[in-house]
Chain A
């Protein structure tokens, strides 16, 4: 059920990522200002954009769970937020390295996007502790969905407020119109972004398939134990959803 199309998707992802790195190193020109260090941009920005979309997707699956009560939506929401958190750590680390390389500091409060990202990360870091501290699986799913929706709405609001608070705004590398990037850079960036998006979807599907298989296995084991001596072991408390 979850495994369908995974092979093709994985191959496409590998091709896109390899292609993106080839473009980054051999095709895209060095930035006139920042030189080689600017190339971290092709990793950092896709990581951040995909993580934000993942958070919002988690909120959308949260809404779908509350509307339908289907646990699969809760699982989808959980896996999306979990993966986005990992990407968010990557985005923060690469952002920090880039800041060090081009501005000489590990962290700068002048860059509103970076600051907003940290705040969003801090909020989503509470997602797992929240889930873990609720025992009843049905309530866990419901509360996690409420959290995912509130946090999903918080993301754009937070970006607006932080952007407004910084009087000194750095020139945007990528504005809504595509910015002043030369064609080679833009092509490389788009391929990197696509590769990262495909990587996210692939990992998401793998994780869904793995979680689903684990639940199936556990329920089969329980059935077997029941058939043996009628003893059901207590399920372990976990932040992950159960089906």
Chain B
């Protein structure tokens, strides 16, 4: 199973390197959204709760773009048939795709956070943000892979992904935004609250196990 996962991840990374599609679009979309927030809120600099909220709403919407594209190559180029014919565990597709989405999100966030710090954020960035970002990325990756696999075979794919992903990620955004808010406060950053990290961890765990248990049913033919 490990070899299958490795091969699937490599395939996606090579695809992304040769025809960069999702990740640059996610970065551009995020920067565009920051510009929108600047004009919509009429704020030159944001901090605290407001900054945290803008950051997480933007990241979530950018993630929805990536989730929409996650299985498109498989669907359009017959990758699903090839995968189903191969004698490997179906769950390896879940692990590989969730890992790829996780890596995409991490890569995108490097650029998005830099842009956020330059364009909108008042206080400087704190290293502790990385913990929240990684935990939240894991949750978005798992739920995103599930939603993408659920929606890819339907007629209304582009409609269903945001409709399903946004309510499902509400607990994630609550915890991530609340955890980040003290880190982005003006004049001395507050401490990271352990309970929000616990919610993020619980979310990752519950949906990780759930996805592991039911993903097979989404690939059957």
Contact = CB atoms under 8 A, between A and B. Distances in A.
Given A119-B167, A146-B150, A158-B171, A133 B155 contact: yes
Interface string A151-190: 0011001101110110000000000000000000000000
Given A134-B155, A161-B199, A164-B195, A126 B160 contact: yes
A143 B150 contact: yes
Q: Which of B175, B217, B220 has the most CB of A within 10 A?
A: B217
A149 B154 contact: no
B146 A161 contact: no
Contacts, number: 84
B160 A119 contact: no
Given A143-B150, A161-B170, A149 B214 contact: yes
Interface residues of A, number: 29
A139 B153 contact: yes
Interface stretch (B21-29, B40-48, B64-72, B202-210): B202-210
B164 interface: yes
A93 interface: no
Nearest to A120: B167
B160 A149 contact: no
Contact of A143 (B153, B170, B171): B153
Given A129-B159, A146-B217, A119 B170 contact: yes
Contacts of B206: 153, 157
Q: Which of A120, A162, A164 has the most CB of B within 10 A?
A: A164
B218 interface: yes
Nearest to B159: A129
Nearest to B210: A153
A130 interface: yes
Given A123-B168, A126-B160, A161 B175 contact: yes
A164 B193 CA distance: 12
A142 interface: yes
A11 interface: no
B160 A130 contact: yes
Interface string B127-159: 000000000000000000010001101111001
A143 B218 contact: yes
Contacts of A154: 168, 171
22 contacts: A120-B167, A122-B166, A126-B163, A129-B160, A130-B150, A132-B156, A134-B155, A135-B155, A139-B153, A142-B217, A142-B220, A143-B154, A146-B214, A146-B217, A147-B150, A149-B210, A154-B168, A157-B171, A161-B203, A162-B174, A164-B174, A165-B174
Given A130-B160, A139-B153, A157-B171, 8 more contacts: A129-B159, A130-B154, A133-B159, A134-B154, A134-B155, A157-B206, A158-B170, A161-B175
